[in-house]
Amino acid sequence: MKSSLITAFALMLLIEGVLPFVSPGRWREVFRKAVLMEDGQIRFIGLSSMLIGLILLLVFND
């Protein structure tokens, strides 16, 4: 279990690091837009991400 959590965390960092590495200007623009968003919009994005992740875990869990 501990190994799976570390692997998941490592993959998250890897995926999160792709955009700033490949296109730092675009990454900056995304954050500029995120700062202007309302709390409800940010919460909706967070909830959507969690639900998609949960569904993927349930579908592809072996």
Return the structure tokens found at 11. Answer: 């993959």
Q: pLDDT per residue over 3-62, tens digit each?
A: 888 998 999 999 999 999 999 999 999 989 999 999 999 999 999 999 998 998 899 887
R_g over Cα of the chain: 15
Could you tell me the residue ranges of all domains in the chain? Answer: 24-62
Q: pLDDT per residue over 49-60, tens digit each?
A: 999 989 988 998
Determine the Cα–Cα distance for residues 52 and 14; give it in Å rounded to an integer.
19
Determine the Cα–Cα distance for residues 36 and 51; give it in Å rounded to an integer.
24
**Contact by Cβ (8 Å): 30, 19:** yes
Q: Does the global pTM surpass 0.75?
A: no
**Contact by Cβ (8 Å): 16, 22:** no
